[in-house]
Amino acid sequence: MLNLNNVAPAEYDNTPLELIPDGTVVRGIVKLSGGDIELPEFGAGNYFKSSQSTSAKWLPLEMTIVGGPFDKRKVWHNVFVDGDKLSERGIPVAKEIGLRMLKSMVDSAFNLSSKDESPQAQQARSLNGVSDLNGMSVCFSIGVEKGTNGYADKNKIKYVLTAESKGFIAGGNAAAVQSAQAMPQAQVAATPQQPTVHNASATVTPSWAQ
């Protein structure tokens, strides 16, 4: 018999965390945070999620910041790779945007310029699949996404920085976290955030991914 009556109750720190200010540049470790479908062109593994009402499909990411005042803080982001809206080339707009972001993540991880077409750069961008992103260290700017349907505002990846980007933090120098100039959304960034509020089911599909 297992008697749990004398086990001390767990103690939790319920102090809400403030959002990381918009425009803050950090470096973080990529973790594919889980999906339920496989897209073969992106490699083996159920890393993607899909909408039940549109063609939207996305790759959920969890980024753990390394170094600086926000060390070990997490940022969640969805990389959309499919949607109903097509570009002039007949390709889903969401896919074009998503592929550019994935390329930037690899460039950032290997300290490459987005314009580097050397054999070494091309080899680095040749992945077995998105699973290769797991554990990569990527430099990115943090943004603030307004909450909807009762959910609080949350941080997101604003854009990924590559070697030629202003403010880029090279791999191995993650402690040199930089804060961008004050942005209009900085006032919003002061809104308290509970990291446990994050809910994958609360995904809001952008209009271009629908």
pLDDT by residue, tens only, the chain of 210 residues: 899 999 988 887 777 689 999 999 999 999 998 899 999 999 999 999 999 999 999 999 999 999 999 999 999 999 999 999 999 999 999 999 999 999 999 999 999 999 999 999 999 999 999 999 999 999 999 999 998 888 899 999 999 999 999 999 998 544 444 433 233 333 333 333 333 333 433 455 554 444
pLDDT of the residue at 175? 41
Residue matched to tokens 């994935």: 102
How far apart are alpha carbons 16 and 12 in whole angstroms? 11
Q: How many CB atoms lie within 10 A of CB 119?
A: 7
Around Cβ 170, how many Cβ atoms within 10 Å? 13
Q: Is 40 left (phi over 0), alpha (psi -120 to 50) or beta?
A: alpha
Given this model, what pLDDT does residue 66 score? 96
Distance CA 195, CA 130 (A): 25
From the list 146, 173, 193, 155, the residue with the least C-alpha distance to 62 is 155
Model pLDDT, residue 188: 32
Instruction: Look at residue 19 in the predicted model and tell me its pLDDT.
Output: 96
Q: What's the confidence (pLDDT) of residue 180?
A: 33
Please choose, from the candidates 197, 174, 189, 178, the residue with its C-alpha nearest in 3D space to the C-alpha of residue 71.
Answer: 174
pLDDT value of position 204: 52
Predicted pLDDT at 148: 87
Q: End-to-end CA distance of the chain, in Å?
A: 54
Distances in Å between the alpha carbon of 45 and those of 7, 96, 137, 174, 202? 40, 21, 21, 30, 23
User: What pLDDT, on a 0 to 100 scale, did the predictor assign at position 78?
Assistant: 96
